[in-house]
Every structure is written in structure tokens, then in C-alpha cells.
Structure 1
Amino acid sequence: MATRIVIIGGGPGGYEAALVAAKEGAEVTLIERQGLGGNAVLTDVVPSKTIIATAEWRTIADRAPQLGIRDTDGSDSAEFSEHIVDMEAINARIRKLVLKQSHEIATRMAKNDIRVIGGHARLVGPTQVEVEDEVLDADAILVATGARPRILPTAQPDGDRIFTWTQLYDLKEVPEHLIVVGSGVTGAEFAGAYRLLGSDVTLISSGERVLSTQDPEAAHLIQDVFAGRGMTVIGGARAQAVENTGSGVAVTLADGRRIEGSHCLMAVGSVPNTQDMGLEQAGVAVDERGYIVVDRVSRTSARGVYAAGDCTGLLPLASVAATQGRIAMAHALGDAVQPIELRHVASNVFTTPEIASVGATEAELKDRGIFYEVSTLELARNPRAKMLGIDAGFVKIFGHTVTGQILGAVIVGSRAGEHIFPLSLAVAHHLTVDQVASTFTVYPSLSGTTSEVARRLHGMRDPQQP
């Protein structure tokens, strides 16, 4: 009899795991209460990155005059104000893309004979799952239920004026003045996108700078770009309450200041979807924040029960969720398993320009007492960047002063998430700066700067010391 696999959650962690298990000959049932694709497809990654990509068009239009493209009257202004942003049309396109992506996942499930059940699932024990009055027996269970936006009691989202990041896709007009509370990745991405779409934006940051978890040089560059585009950033401030005034919103800060705008986006973190699932009865341990505790092969404290994705609190990335899910199924079905290595994870902040990073940060290298040298070059020096009118961004590589191994890297620039891949390979496979530097790049290309940065680390001297 085939191994019976029950997966709770149809996001990247769940559906990727289902495909792996099905290909190994398991009998797979996937349970999803919202729609296939989970938050990543339905309310988070796909829709948010689509609106960001749409907003990025303005930066291309703004470069037109310096590239020699003029208006029909002969003037060299390509002011964005001359264009109309149809927010309703943008969101209609986003919803269409979301449905298409979800449908494609459903098609893959059907082609691989994966049974899909809609509904809320609960663990009856470590070998049984209850859904829609049906009890499913399982040889292995994967919990991949994701997370949801954290909501402050004094800032209740209403879908009208006060939003979480899942509620923005019914807007019919660009907000006149959007106040974004929270300057982490989600807050910074949306703040940047709506400013480009034409909103006045006020970004409220609890820290003195935005994107506090990112490379400091990269975060400062993004904050300077925000300021240059007319965004107001209020640092060192915490929102105490948000009120819908009927005609707008009022955000009260902890120091008593009152900020008024037309709409407010709350981007203050997330909480795991682990409540009312029978985890305790099944012996699945959660931490003090409600995240499921897992090891590097996705095992929970209950034998035969695995977990993947945002409900584990590991790293809130679709790529990490998918990897955890695949690892879980490989382990459950007796296949070769390579435990997840978070130091190899590449991540990207979809601001404009983007911030992509992989491997160790400079702060981590200092904390670990590792001898390293850093090499940085501005993208503005790159010939391809000059042709494209790109003048913001840089490539930074951290190299080990003894072995020459690439320990980490940061790229800030247009499509940085695409350009980080060779450096991800370098970090994952312990390549040296000389190996990267000696590999051919196309001329002219933005990747040429990556090669040059690595070349400058040849024969490293005067290492940075902790």
C-alpha cells in the first residue's frame, strides 16, 4: 500500500511537498481552506510584487529625457503627472493573475493525482486529520498553514480606510495620502510602490532608519531614494492608534503626535496560523509566539508530523517554505535528505531599486570573529548601467581573507533579485573570489560589476577584524 501523506495548507510549502510526494508514489491529500497557492499567490507575494512591478514603470519613464526620448512637442520632459494611473484596472489585472496562478497549481495537482479538499483541518492525533466531517489516516502529516498580518487592537483594519497588506486589491483609486505603519520589508515595498504610483506617502518607522534588518549601506541608500522621491519618513516613532475619521485616517503616535492622511496600511509583522488545529493534542510543540518548532529536516516534536513555511517562523520566504516542504517529504519517504541551510538562502527586497542578499552579513561576520575583506563598487560605473540610465545601486562582496571563499554578498539595483543568483551559487558551493572573477561575463552587462568586485578581492590584504 502506498504511503499516505496528508498536507494541511496549499501554499508553496504545501503544494511543492505534494508534488514531491506524488512523484515518489505516495497517496497524497492536500487540504486548503482559502485557495491553492495560499497567501503567497492569493494575497501576498504575487499581488504585491505585481503592483510593485507596475509602479516601477515610473522610474523607467523618468529616465526617458536623459536617454533622448522627448514629448511630441519637442520638450524633454516626461513628467509622470501627464499619465493617469487607473488603480481599478491595475487591481483587476492583479486579481486575474492571481486566479490564473492558482488555477495552474490546481491543474498540476490534478495531473499528479493529488486529492484536494477545501476546508479547515485539525489534527486528531499524530496520524489522523479531520476535515469536513471526514477523518483521514496518515503515515505522515505536513502542516503548512502560513501566517496572517498582525493586528493591533487600537488599529483595526476595516478594508475601507485602514488596511492590512492583504486588503489593498479592491482600491479603485490611488490613495491621496497613504500612511504606512511599519518600515520592514512589507512596509518599505508598499510605501515605495504607492509613492511611484502618485500617492503622497508617510512612512512611520519604529527605528531611526527603514529596513533595519538589511545591510546598513543598502538601507540608507533606499531611504535616500525615498526622500528624493518626496516620501516623508518619520523615524523613531511608534503608532499607538489608527482611527477612520470618515473622510480619512488619523494615526496617533506614542509621543502624542497626530498624523492625518487618506488611508493607512498596517505593516507591523505577522502571526502564525497555528490556532485551533489540534497541535497540542497531537504532541506538536509551539514556541512562545505560536510558531511550530521544527528541526532542519522539518520534523516537529510529534513523530511523523512535519511543518513548513511561515507557520514555523524560520524565514518568511516562499522559497524557504517550498524547500522545507520538499525536505519534509524526502525525509518522510526515505529519500536522500539535505537539511536546510539558512546561510545559503537568497532574499530580495522589492523596493525600487531592489536589495538582494545572500550569505553572512557584515555584522554576523564581526560577531563570529571571522577575518574578511569587503569590496564594493557603484553600479553607476558600469557601462550597461550608463546605457540604461541607472545611477543608483552597488555590488558588495565579503571574502574570507585566508581561503578566499565568498562569505556573503549584497546587490542594490534594478532587478537585483535576478543578479544575485551567481553569488548564491558561490556561497552555497563555497566558491572563491578568484573563481567568480575568472568566469566570463557578457560585455556590456550589469553582471560585469559582480565580476569586477570579486576581482578586486584577489590577494586580499588588511582584513577587517572583529
Structure 2
Amino acid sequence: MAEHHYDVVVIGAGPAGEGAAMNATKNGCRVATIEDKQTVGGNCTHWGTIPSKALRHSVKQIITFNTNSMFRDIGEPRWFSFPRVLQHAEKVMAKQVKLRTQFYARNRVDLFNGSAYFLDKNRIEIRGGTRANEVLRAKTIVVATGSRPYLPPDVNFRHHRIYNSDTILKLSHTPRTLIIYGAGVIGSEYASIFAGLGVKVDLINPGSRLLTFLDDEISDALSYHLRNNGVLVRHNEQYESVDGDDHGVVVSLQSGKKLRADAFLWCNGRSGNTERLGLENVGLEVNSRGQLQVDEHYKTEVPDIYAVGDVIGWPSLASAAYDQGRSAASDVNGDQYFRYIADVPTGIYTIPEISSVGKTEKELTDAKVPYEVGQAFFKDLARAQITGDEVGMLKVLFHRESREILGIHCFGDQAAEIVHIGQAIMNQGGEANTLNYFINTTFNYPTMAEAYRVAALNGLNRIF
């Protein structure tokens, strides 16, 4: 059995694993990455972030074409099938794989194809794949195996009309009606996408409101726009059974209701990919969701074994995962770039999109912080009027006395880009982080960024 020696072995080639591997090799470590797929990029590139956002972009273009009166001169509104729209996503995925494969080659990180299995805390056996039965030995091991959809055992996901958030990307037709179970980030995003394709969607939410971690006003806006686009949102409902036949799927709810649709999409929870790692051989246990516990340096309970990305749970975002991987490698090498990733903006790619950073109004109210609100509505911005993307708003929360920026909440086109301007000011600290920056800075006109000036002046008017 061939044995290879490395300083660091990374399990998983998604964003978290890539961040760890690239930072470790740039610090002079000899690094190997084990990946069970044939190509790098992880679930982010192949099943999650990249395909769903590329799909959303295509749907958004279709909506623009079908609703903009200017396009009527060149033809009537068009209907596009789901598989046809997916073709654009597949091209983006291929470009991402090519780019990330070059990163590994250029930085001389050895890629091993197969599944990782701990023999002990310093040795990993590769099972299956093209490098089966080889053993990698290293002082430090970083677990970055990601997550997959949680699949309840009482739902038959082998049925050709029952999908989860991974398998939906293999949907070969366009259903007329769709039931989505789970109204978290993924469920809300897919509800927007399918509604944009003209599908009648029932969105079943086991909770009492959409995305409770969001600012209440933003959550309410999302609910309104989903309903306005033909999504029926059903709150406080749990499934009793999900039964597929040749013609559709019947969902029986615990409340006694029965729903029928052409297809069913499960978007309720994710589990860490840990079950076949041999963690018992190193004394590591996972929680009920298959996730590993780590400290504020991304260390597990076993010395020199780190864990990063979705496999540790919150926030389960590609952006955070990459930075967690980099930080774990910084901890290994003791460089100056280590940080615990806590300041994470949310980016939710519904139509329109949502993004926020910092505190919500509820959090500030509960903490009895004397805050004030500055608002800018997109319908009043020249740039939004030009582009036709007039739905949305920017909300800046700031301290009444010090004017310190406490939270940024944005709903509308390009929200995930717009939020970073506010985030940059919030991170300056001290006198630099105040509403005054937006009041005393000249913004390009017309731009979406100008929303910060409008919101700041709006907030200033509320201080007496």
C-alpha cells in the first residue's frame, strides 16, 4: 500500500478546502487534497451556489424580456423550458471547474480522487476513485467535506417526480405546478426561480414567517413579492406523507390538507458529509446533523485536525467557507491573517435578491439600543428607473447619538453588491463608521450606490 507524506492534507475541494489548501501551500507547506468527485469545486460549483445563481440570472433575463414593453417590437412573450434555461448554468459550471483546476496545478497541490477514511489522526486511506488504497500521512488534516440535503426516510426520493435541491438540477421537463417543502434560503430561491418560469408554486413553510433571521420589513417584502409572482405561501404546516404516482405528487399535511402538483421539491435542512470518514478511529463525534464541533480556531477536539465549511454548520455559505479554510491554514502556519469568521453578510438570491449585514431592528430594540432608520426606496432612484428594477429598498440602521452604523438591510436588484459599501464603512470602526460618511461623500449619479446618500439624509431628518 503506497504511502505519501505531506504537511497538510485537506479532505474536500469545495470553497472551504480550496481556501485551506491554497493558503497552506503559499505558506510553504506540502499539501494534498482528497476529492471524491471527478472534478474540483465541491457542491458549491456542481449542485448549489453556482448552478442555482446562474439559473436565476437566466430566469431574470426571461422575466425582463417578457415584461418590458420595449421588447414587444421584436416579438411576443416567450416561454422557456427548465432544461433549456439550465444550459447556461452548465457553461458557467464548466468555466468554474477549469479555473479552479488551474489553481491546484499552479500551486502544486496534489489532487487525489477518492473517498477519505481516517486510519488514525495522521493517516488517511483513499477508498474508491482513481487513487484507491493509497495512504496519505500528514501532521495536520483539514476536514472540508461539505454538506448534502437532509432526506427524511419516509419520502421516496427515487420517484421520478420527487426531487431535492441537488437532484432538481437534473429535472428534464418543466412542471406546470410544483410543491416546495421548506421555505428557508434554498426553498425561497427556487420558489422565485420556478415562479419566474411561469410555474404555479406552493411553498410550504413549517415556521410562522419567511427567513426569521432577516429584518422583519425585508421578510415581509419577500413574502409580498413571492405572492405577487404567483407563489402560494403556506405557513405553520408540516407534511404527513408525500406520495408520487405516474401523474404527479400528493402531499398530505398534518393539518388535514391535501395538495397535488406535477412535482415536489424538498428543501428542508442539510447534513454534514461525515458518515464514512472513519471519525470513530480518531475519537471524533458528530451532532445529529452530522456536523463537527470546532473552537474559535476551527480546531476539533483532536489536536491537528481542523474542520471548516458546511461540515461545521453555521453560516453554511460559500463565502464564509472559503475564508474559514484560509483561516484554518493561517492558524496552522501562525501567520497574521487568522480571523474567526463572524462578520458574514447574508446574500439571498431570490427575485428580487436580499442582502444584509449587522443588527436587525428587533435585535436593537430588544437590546434597548437607541437607533434610528434611514431609508431609500429604489423607485425613487434615477438608476433604478432607468433599468426598470424599481422594486426594493435600502435600510441603514444607526445609533441616534453617535450615528454609528449598526446594520444594513437591502432588498432589490443587486442587493448583494450594494450591501458591501455599507459593510466597508461599518468595519472602519470609531469615528470613521458613522452616518456622516454617506452624507459627506459624493456618489456617482445615477447609480444604485447613491441609495446610501439618500438613506443617510432620510435618517438625518429623523434626528431632532
- Relative to the length of structure 1, the TM-score reads 0.92
Q: Which residue type is aligned with residue 64 of structure 2?
A: I
Whether the 8 Å contact between 2:381 and 2:451 is mirrored in structure 1 is yes
Conserved 8 A contact 1:91-1:171: no
- Kindly indicate whether residue 365 of structure 2 is the aligned counterpart of residue 363 of structure 1: no
The one-character-per-residue Cα deviations of 1:355-413 (angstroms, maximum 9, x if unpaired) are: 11011222222333333222222211112112222331111111123332211111101
Residue 105 (structure 1) aligns with? 100
| Distance 1:134-1:369 versus aligned 2 partners, 3 A rule | farther
Alpha carbons of structure 1 residues 438 and 62: separation in structure 2 relative to 1, 3 Å:
farther
Q: What secondary structure sits across from 1:447 in the alignment?
A: coil
Structure 2 partner of 1:445: 447
Question: Do structure 1's residue 202 and structure 2's residue 202 form an aligned pair?
Answer: yes
Secondary structure of 1:110's counterpart equals helix
1:92-122 per-residue CA deviation (whole Å, 9 max, x = no partner) reads: 3323322331232112101111100111112
Match of 1:8 among 5, 8, 11: 11
> How many angstroms apart in 2 are the aligned matches of 1:375 and 1:331?
40
Partner amino acid for 2:354? Answer: I
Structure 2 residue 162 is matched with structure 1 residue 158: no
1:170 aligns with 2:193: no
**Contact (CA 8 Å) 2:116, 2:125: kept in 1 or not?**
yes
Indicate the larger mover: 229-238 or 360-369: 360-369
Q: 1:200-243, CA deviations, whole angstroms, 9 ceiling, x for partnerless residues?
A: 11111122332233222112112111222222222221122211
Unaligned runs of 5+ in 1: 73-77
Q: Is the 8 A contact 2:181 2:268 kept in 1?
A: yes
Deviations 1:56-87 (A, max 9, x none): 1233224422xx55435xxxxx86xx313133
Within a 5 Å distance, the mapping from 1:181-192 to structure 2 comes to: 181-192=181-192
CA distance in 2: counterparts of 1:198 and 1:312, whole angstroms:
37
The size of the alignment, in residue pairs, is 451
Which residue of structure 2 aligns with residue 236 of structure 1?
A: 236
Q: Which SS does the other structure have where 2:403 is aligned?
A: coil
Q: Does 1:85 align with 2:80?
A: yes
Distance 2:72 2:246 in 1: 43
CA distance in 2, matches of 1:125, 1:269: 31
Partner of 1:75: none
Give the whole-Å Cα distance in 1 for the aligned partners of 2:112 and 2:82. 34
Matched, 1:119 2:114: yes
Shift of residue 154, structure 1, vs aligned partner: 2.1
Task: Find the counterpart in structure 2 of residue 20 from structure 1.
Answer: 23
C-alpha distance in 2 between matches for 1:458 and 1:301: 50
Give the share of equivalent positions with the same residue, in percent. Answer: 30
Give, in whole Å, the separation in 2 of the partners of 1:214 and 1:121.
37
Whether 1:45 aligns to 2:49 is yes
Shift of the alpha carbon at 1:133? Answer: 1.8
Q: 1:341 to 1:406 in 2, by over 3 A?
A: farther
In the alignment, the residues of structure 2 paired with residue 426 and residue 387 of structure 1 have an alpha-carbon distance, to the nearest angstrom, of 27
Alignment root-mean-square deviation, CA: 2.0
Q: Which moved more, 1:105-114 or 1:271-280?
A: 271-280
Deviation at 1:123, TM superposition (A): 2.1
Partner of 2:406: 407
Q: Tell me if structure 2 keeps the 8 A contact 1:124–1:278.
A: yes
Per the TM alignment, residue 147 of structure 1 is displaced from its structure 2 partner at its CA by 0.7
Measured in 2, the distance between the counterparts of 1:172 and 1:459 equals 54
